[in-house]
Amino acid sequence: MCRYSVNTLEPMASSLNKDIMLDTQLKIEQRVNIDRLRALYAETVSSILSTLAVMAVFVFLLSYQIALSSLLIWYAVLTSVLLGRAVNYWRFLNAEPGAAQLRHWCLRFRLGTLATGIVIGGSSLLLFGQVPVAYEVFNVLVLAGICAGALTVLLYDYIAFYLYINAILLPTVVVSASLDGHLHIAISAVMLIYVLLLMRASHQLYRNVIASLTLGYENQVLAENLAREKKRLDNRLGRILNDSSSEIYIVDADSLQCLQVNQGALQHLGYSAAEIESLSILDVLTELSRTDLDMLLTPLYSGTQESVFYHGHHRRKDGSQYPVEIRLQLSLKESPAVILATALDMTERDNAKRQLVHQANFDQLTDLPNRFYMQSHIEQAFSHARRAEKKVALLFIDLDDFKQVNDSLGHASGDLLLQQAAERIRSVLRDSDTPARLGGDEFLVMLEGLAQREQAEHVAAKLVDAFKQPFRIGLNEVYTPTSIGISLFPDDGVSV
pLDDT of residue 36: 83
**According to the model, what pLDDT value does residue 217 have?**
78
Q: What is the DSSP string of 114-162?
A: HHHHHHHHTHHHHHTTTS-HHHHHHHHHHHHHHHHHHHHHTTT-HHHHH
The DSSP secondary-structure symbol of 183 reads: H
Q: How far apart are CA 225 and CA 49, in angstroms?
A: 44
Strands (E), 254-390: 258-261, 307-315, 321-331, 338-345
Question: How many CB atoms within 10 Å of residue 227?
Answer: 8
Sheet holding 338-345, edge to edge: 258-261, 247-252, 338-345, 321-331, 307-315
Torsion sign over Cα 45, 47, 48, 50: positive
Instruction: Please give the domain boundaries of the chain with CATH numbers for all domains.
Output: 18-220 (no CATH), 245-347 (3.30.450.20), 362-489 (3.30.70.270)
Q: Helices 68-95 and 44-62, interaxial angle, to 10°?
A: 180
Q: How many other β-carbons are positioned within 10 Å of the β-carbon of residue 155?
A: 19
Give the pLDDT confidence score for residue 232 in this predicted structure.
57
pTM, 2 dp: 0.43
Q: How far apart are CA 387 and CA 383, in angstroms?
A: 6
DSSP string of 402-470, one letter each residue? HHHHHHHH-HHHHHHHHHHHHHHHHHHS-TT-EEEEEETTEEEEEEEEESSHHHHHHHHHHHHHHTTSP
In the prediction, which pLDDT does 74 show? Answer: 87
Instruction: Give the SS3 label for residue 176.
Output: helix
- Sequence-distant (≥ 6) Cβ neighbours of residue 465 within 8 angstroms: none
One pLDDT digit (tens) per residue for the chain, 496 residues:
333 333 443 443 344 456 566 667 777 777 888 888 888 888 888 888 988 888 888 888 888 888 888 888 888 998 999 999 889 889 888 876 666 678 888 888 889 899 998 988 888 887 777 778 888 788 888 888 888 888 888 888 889 889 989 988 888 888 888 887 788 888 888 889 988 998 898 889 888 888 888 887 777 777 777 776 655 544 455 565 666 668 888 888 888 888 888 888 888 888 888 888 888 888 888 888 889 888 988 998 888 988 898 888 888 889 888 888 888 999 888 888 898 888 888 888 888 888 888 888 899 999 999 988 888 889 888 989 899 889 999 999 999 888 888 888 888 888 998 999 999 999 999 888 999 998 888 999 999 989 899 999 999 999 999 999 998 888 888 888 899 999 998 888 777 6
Structure confidence at residue 474 (pLDDT): 82
pLDDT, position 130: 79
pLDDT of residue 385: 87
pLDDT of residue 10: 43
Element containing residue 37 per DSSP (H, E): helix 18-42
Q: Exposure of 33 by Cβ count < 10 A (0-12 exposed, 13-18 middle, 19+ buried)?
A: middle
State the pLDDT at residue 21: 64
The pair phi, psi for residue 329, each rounded to 5°, is: -130, 150
pLDDT at 495: 76
The pLDDT score that the predictor gives to residue 7 is 45
- Element housing 471 (H / E): strand 471-473
Q: CA–CA separation, 68 vs 329, rounded Å?
A: 76
Closest CA to 447 of 484, 393, 485, 486: 393
Q: In angstroms, rounded to a whole number, what is the distance separating the alpha carbons of residues 192 and 197?
A: 9
